[in-house]
Amino acid sequence: MNSVVRLKFTVWLLLLGFSMGVDAQTADENRVEVLQDTVVHSKTDIISFLAASKEHSIFLNLLKVSGVDEDFSSETILTLFAPTNAGFEKLPKGTLENLTLPENKYKLINILNYHILVGSESSTAMSKIITKNRGKAKFQAKSGGAITVFMKQGIFAIEGNRGKGILIENPDKLQSNGIVHVVDSVLIPQ
């Protein structure tokens, strides 16, 4: 390749790279990226994410009824394991109704806080800890209880559900105030 052709090719590559960078920056204002475990957040927060999801109406209602939703309005970054409505349907009959009784408010708050970690725990970070700790990553929930994450057939899971594991169906929903991991069941403190 002669030097003129090489120069044109180099300029073309530089221009292509620049235009791709500009397109990537302007493509979507709400886009989220994870760069070297540093989270660049979207414009929506965790409560807005739950409100926009038809799958999380029960969980959002419980957060609001208990007042736990107010924890998401601070500047603290949180990780939330958010059970779907189908996850609540797996609870024994009458459990949900029982938890919403005024005399069980403390128990409800404890269960909801068991779904929350203070800080940002992406699937990448969890994977590194799982690898480092020979198969399991332990985290302290806001309730004080321990949450143990492991891999089950290539999918993240949380210990519980009588040894079967609670599946993280949809990880890394990054929000302005943290991360939401969608889980298929309600986490019950051990």
What CATH number should be reported for the domain holding residue 103? 2.30.180.10
pLDDT in tens, 125-146: 999 999 999 999 999 999 999 9
Based on the domain organization, do 81 and 135 belong to the same domain? yes
Domains held by the chain: number: 2
Based on the domain organization, do 122 and 36 belong to the same domain? yes
pTM: 0.78
How far is residue 179's CA from residue 172's CA, in Å, rounded to a whole number? Answer: 6
Based on the domain organization, do 23 and 91 belong to the same domain? no
Based on the domain organization, do 39 and 123 belong to the same domain? yes
Based on the domain organization, do 6 and 52 belong to the same domain? no
Instruction: Tell me the one-letter amino acid at 39.
Output: V
The predicted pLDDT at position 42 comes to 65
pLDDT confidence band for 44 (50 / 70 / 90): very high
**Does any domain span residue 150?**
yes
Mean pLDDT, rounded, of the chain: 83
Based on the domain organization, do 20 and 107 belong to the same domain? no
Based on the domain organization, do 13 and 48 belong to the same domain? no
- Percentages (nearest 5) of helix, strand, coil residues in the chain: 45, 25, 30
Based on the domain organization, do 2 and 60 belong to the same domain? no
The predicted pLDDT at position 32 comes to 38
Of the chain, the percentage scoring pLDDT greater than 70 comes to 76
Based on the domain organization, do 77 and 157 belong to the same domain? yes
**Does any domain span residue 188?**
no
**Which residues constitute the domain of residue 6?**
1-29
Based on the domain organization, do 5 and 53 belong to the same domain? no
**Does any domain span residue 190?**
no
What is 19-62 written as a DSSP string? HHHHHHHHS-TT--EEETTEEE--SS-HHHHHHH-GGGHHHHHH
Of the chain, the percentage scoring pLDDT greater than 90 comes to 71
**Does any domain span residue 168?**
yes
Backbone φ/ψ region at 144: left (φ over 0), alpha (ψ -120 to 50), beta: left
